[in-house]
Amino acid sequence: MDLNKKMEVLIKKSEYNIMKAAAATTQLEQSHGKVIEDIQLFRKEINDRLDQMESIIIKEAETVINTANHKLENIKDAYEKIAEEVKRSQSFLNDLSKTNKQNKLFIEMKNIIPRIMTLENEEIQIINDNTTYDDIQFDRNENLLNQLKSGNNFGKILTYGKPSSDTGLCVTYERSIDVKFPTDVQRSDVTGTVMISVTQMIVADYGNMKIKMINIDTGTLVSEKTLSTAPNDVIKLPQNKLAVALLDENCIQILSYTDTSLSLDRCIDVGESCYCVGYCQDKLVVGCNYDPGKLVVLDLDGKIKQVFDTPRLFDGPEKILISSDEKFLYVSDYNSDDDSKCIKIDWQGNVVQRFQDQGCKRPKGIQEMEDGTLLVCFYKSHKIVRLSSSLKTCEIKGLEEIKIYYPQDF
């Protein structure tokens, strides 16, 4: 009987993995078609850009030539007029000399001399006003050519996930932690959480405008700090710092913490509504505004480094996650039910992948697991979904037995 059970289990596992392999094959075929399409599209974009650059430099050359030709025509016309006038005067004086009309010759010479001096000055001015080139050349951008020649710079093929060997994640309910304490006067609304040690968690309580430090083993409040306005997100920074998104004050509040206390540090003005914040290599990535939304990248002194605001790229960025390899940003785009989506972008603001499902509405908190998969809270759908790094759904067990209402963050 035990042997039969083991054989049945093995058969079921085999059938399951066959099904997954078939699904992976289909996905690979679709991905292959998309990769070819993306490569060809990239090539077309390069060709279009080169055509545009060629057109611009040709127009520049034509402008230089036309300007030079126009100035040369001005010189030619002006000198023809000067030569014609001087020749007439010269001929007139020669005729007077030949007919021996010395008195009239003397008088006419006296009259012509000032005009000749004027023409000499005009001749100098014509040259100054119409300085031009007698030759032009094309200076090649060797850096552009060298970049194309050096190595395989067209791009690279990235691989994501392990669909044939991916194992399902299984979760079980452990306990609840109450985040409302006697010092609170309003209903607690958790808009952000972050672990600062194995036993201590930071909670952003929007309802009470507080940042709280809670011991998760004992469920006790270690420290709290009341803010000037409600916090919409909180993340951990190096050197025992926290960054808090203050929606109504258009800034990021920096706090310091010890094992037992929280203290206000400074504010970084963003100048726009701050819904969420991420951190990477001494830079803050702030999700701003709604419909349309944008991401603003700042250094820790508040100087803007980048802005991702391509039209309709975001509707309402709610949470930001930087991948563990720091190559990509995952953004929960909340706004409306129909537009709910999770987006993966690179540091140039290009959309790499997106996840959108009618059964998954209003994404909020997003967290990366050790195996590279993601957990995403879908607030309106009362569910948590596991996604691969390429934003494909992955198996997660046990959640159907846990009642989850309006999940916001991890």
Tokens of 118: 């004027």
- In the predicted model, what is the mean pLDDT of the chain? 88
Is the model's pLDDT at 42 over the cut of 70?
A: yes
Domain boundaries, the chain: 2-149, 169-401
- CATH 2.130.10.10 corresponds to the domain 169-401: yes
Q: Read off φ and ψ for residue 297, nearest 5 degrees.
A: -105, 120
Name the 3-class secondary structure at 201: strand
Half-sphere exposure of 357 (CA within 13 A, CB side): 16
Predicted structure pTM score: 0.60
The single-letter code of the amino acid at 326 is E
Instruction: Say what percent of the chain tops pLDDT 70.
Output: 96
Can you give the pLDDT at residue 153? 67
Which one is predicted more confidently, 272 or 395? Answer: 272
Q: Read off φ and ψ for residue 198, nearest 5 degrees.
A: -70, -15
Which one is predicted more confidently, 312 or 317? Answer: 317
Which residues, other chains included, contact 376 with Cβ-Cβ below 8 Å and sequence gap of 6+? 332, 342, 355, 360, 363, 365, 366, 367, 384, 385, 386, 387
Which residues, other chains included, contact 133 with Cβ-Cβ below 8 Å and sequence gap of 6+? 64, 68
Name the 3-class secondary structure at 306: strand
User: If we measure between CA atoms, which residue out of 225, 223, 246, 243 comes closest to residue 235?
Assistant: 243
Confidence of residue 244 (pLDDT cuts 50, 70, 90): very high
Supply the Cα-derived Rg of the chain in whole angstroms. 37
Confidence of residue 165 (pLDDT cuts 50, 70, 90): very low
Q: What would the mean pLDDT of 203-225 be, rounded to a whole number? A: 95
Can you give the pLDDT at residue 337? 65
Can you give the pLDDT at residue 144? 80
Q: How far is CA 191 from the centre of its chain?
A: 25
Is the model's pLDDT at 256 over the cut of 90?
A: yes
Can you give the pLDDT at residue 83? 87
Which one is predicted more confidently, 166 or 325? Answer: 325
Which one is predicted more confidently, 263 or 135? Answer: 263
